[in-house]
Amino acid sequence: MSSPSKSGRPRDADRDRALLVATQDLLAEVGYDRLSIDAVAARCGAGKTTVYRRWAGKPELVADAVALLHEIAVAPDTGDLRTDLVLMAKAWHDPDSRRDAVVGGLLTAMVHDGGLRDAVNQAISVPHKEVFATVVARAVERGEVPGDRDFELIGTAFPALTFHRLSVMAEPIDLAFIERVVDGVVVPALISGGSSPAGGAMSR
């Protein structure tokens, strides 16, 4: 997510974090389109050059700010598919209305802004896909899940259903909802779903 500065000086981790939190606040307050790098810097008593020293632009800053809200834990490994899936989903979406507000201010802009979409997908979707792929690969090894399911599609079911619930239905994500998705959709699709059109390859 972050990397040492090019100059080799010790990176000011506290200031970077303050800038990312200010970015989160502004996303929740005004949304992506109206967020300015000037405003982010001003909230931290910094100049915009401080921001540009660390981030190439608004999409990259915002992607890091959003990634900071999503704890990308290592893949859970309890030996039970359902438990791993619930733990994974809880790590992505513990009840946190501030996070929902930040992400809500962002989803909107992703439709029209390919650069932002790529940056957010790189920060969130790719790590999530890798955790899901790891959890499922272990279940395949244990014989819990057939190896030819449409893993790529099923891996998007949880993000898609939470995204839809937040934006279209404007309802929050809680543990009860997570368990409904795991038990009602993800596990049955993994266990009883049709084969992948790609023959079960776990494409990433």
Q: Which residues bind a second copy (CB under 8 A)?
A: 31, 104-105, 107-112, 114, 117, 121, 125, 149-150, 153-154, 156-157, 159-161, 163-170, 176, 180-181, 183-185, 187-189, 191-194, 196-197
Contact 193, 145 (CB under 8 A): no
Least distance CB 167 / a second copy (angstroms):
5
Minimum CB distance to a second copy smaller for 139 or for 166? 166
Minimum CB distance to a second copy smaller for 41 or for 178? 178
| CA 61/CA 102 separation, integer angstroms | 13
Least distance CB 44 / a second copy (angstroms):
26
Least distance CB 108 / a second copy (angstroms):
4
Least distance CB 149 / a second copy (angstroms):
7
Minimum CB distance to a second copy smaller for 51 or for 92? 92
Least distance CB 148 / a second copy (angstroms):
11
Contact 158, 181 (CB under 8 A): yes
Minimum CB distance to a second copy smaller for 41 or for 161? 161
Minimum CB distance to a second copy smaller for 74 or for 111? 111
